[in-house]
Structure formats: structure tokens, C-alpha cells
Chains A and B, each alone.
Chain A
Amino acid sequence: GEDVEQSLFLSVREGDSSVINCTYTDSSSTYLYWYKQEPGAGLQLLTYIFSNMDMKQDQRLTVLLNKKDKHLSLRIADTQTGDSAIYFCAESLRGSTLGRLYFGRGTQLTVWP
């Protein structure tokens, strides 16, 4: 549960789709999450997926989970400048402290007008 990896930077043009990727190593994940952090702010839960699901869609957000490859992705459709932030992938583990989350280093998304 301590190896959650993300690419560090992503730049896209406004209106394009963004895809942020994450890999994890612990197969005992229960839930996987995407959090958003704007400058100087705390973490905002964007979406989550239970480990027995493959896909979840929530308005402009689509989460894909490939359990075989331990790969999670977040797709943001029609990306806007207000989506510029750091996005963290996180997991909670079966048998771990209840509610404890393991985070990646975050992906800095920059959206150009």
C-alpha cells in the first residue's frame, strides 16, 4: 500500500480531454480515489471506485480500473482552466487502519486557454 505511482506533470489545451494515470502495487485495495488539490487548499474528493468495478462515470469524469495491471486512470472531458490543480490517486487497503489512505505524489495538471 505504500507504492502508488503517478506521472508528475500533464499539460492540455482547454476543451481537450485529460487522462491522468496511476499505478499501485497492493492487490488488497478496497477503494481507489481521486483527489484534487488547488494551491493553498486541502484535498477535495473528486471520485472513487470500488476495487471490484472496472469503470465509473460521473459527469465529466471517467475512472477506469485495470486490476490485472493495477492501473487506475482519471479522464476529464472538456477540460477547463478551472481544472488546473494537483490530482492525487489514493487507495485504502483491506486490513489496514480503518480509513487510512495511501497517496501518490500527485500529477500537476495545467490547462492552457
Chain B
Amino acid sequence: DTGVSQNPRHKITKRGQNVTFRCDPISEHNRLYWYRQTLGQGPEFLTYFQNEAQLEKSRLLSDRFSAERPKGSFSTLEIQRTEQGDSAMYLCASRLGDTELGYTFGSGTRLTVV
């Protein structure tokens, strides 16, 4: 068990391009969360999966954003037609069941849109 893994660590893209990030949670964790952290701010909730079902999406998640967790294991977050305002750190976290304490974050993917 190597914790929550996110790839890539860094991504630089031109405005208008599509990008996709991957998160591999801890293997037995059924709950997975995506957060976005902009410079000087705390993380903000984007979306939540329980197994393969996407149960909640924040209003921050515009229609250019889509997230999937096809088999209840890894998850992807895709941003279409990127804008400079999408530049941020995208954090993934996972946890097992209802425990409040088993919340593990990955190291994040830093996106820079130029």
C-alpha cells in the first residue's frame, strides 16, 4: 500500500487544450474525492464517488469538467477547453467506509494553463 497516487505530478498545457488526470486510491478505499486548490487558498471540494457512483458534484465543477471512476478503483478528472483560471493543484483523497479518520490525500497534480 503506497498511499494515494496521482499522475502526472505537473502538467503544463496551452489554453483550449484538454487534459486528464488520474488518481489511484488506496486499494480497499471505496470513497474517493477530488478537490481543487488555487494559490493562497485552501482546498475546495469538486466531486465525490462511492465505489463507481458519482454521488455529488460541486457547483465549481462546470460542464467542461468530467470525472469518472469506471470500476470503483482509479478515477480520472478531465478538463476540456482549459482556461487560465483552471490553473490549480488538483488533489485526490480516498477513505474507507464511514470513518472520519481514514482520509488520505495524494500529492496532487499541479496544472498550469498558459
Contacts and interface: CB of A to CB of B under 8 A. Distances in A.
16 contacts: A30-B100, A40-B107, A42-B4, A42-B106, A42-B107, A43-B91, A43-B105, A45-B103, A97-B45, A97-B55, A98-B48, A99-B31, A99-B103, A103-B42, A104-B42, A105-B42
Contacts of A31: 100
Given A42-B106, A45-B103, A104-B42, A99 B95 contact: yes
Interface of A: 4, 30-31, 35, 40-45, 48, 88, 90, 92, 97-106
Contacts of B103: 45, 99, 101
Contact-residue size bin, chain B (C-beta under 8 Å from the other chain)? 20 to 34
Closest 3 CB pairs of A and B: A103-B42, A42-B105, A43-B105
B98 A98 contact: yes
Given A41-B107, A42-B105, A104-B42, A97 B48 contact: yes
Given A101-B103, A106-B40, A106-B41, 19 more contacts: A4-B42, A31-B100, A40-B110, A42-B91, A42-B106, A42-B107, A43-B43, A43-B91, A43-B105, A45-B101, A48-B101, A88-B42, A88-B43, A92-B100, A100-B45, A100-B56, A101-B43, A105-B42, A106-B42
B25 interface: no
Contacts of B56: 97, 100
Contacts, number: 59
Interface of A, helix, strand, loop or mixed by DSSP? strand
A98 B43 contact: no
B44 A103 contact: yes
Contact of A48 (B4, B100, B106): B100
Nearest to B44: A103
A52 B51 CA distance: 31
Nearest to B48: A97
A28 B50 CA distance: 23
A10 to B, nearest CB: 15
Given A43-B91, A45-B103, A101 B45 contact: yes
A101 B31 CA distance: 13
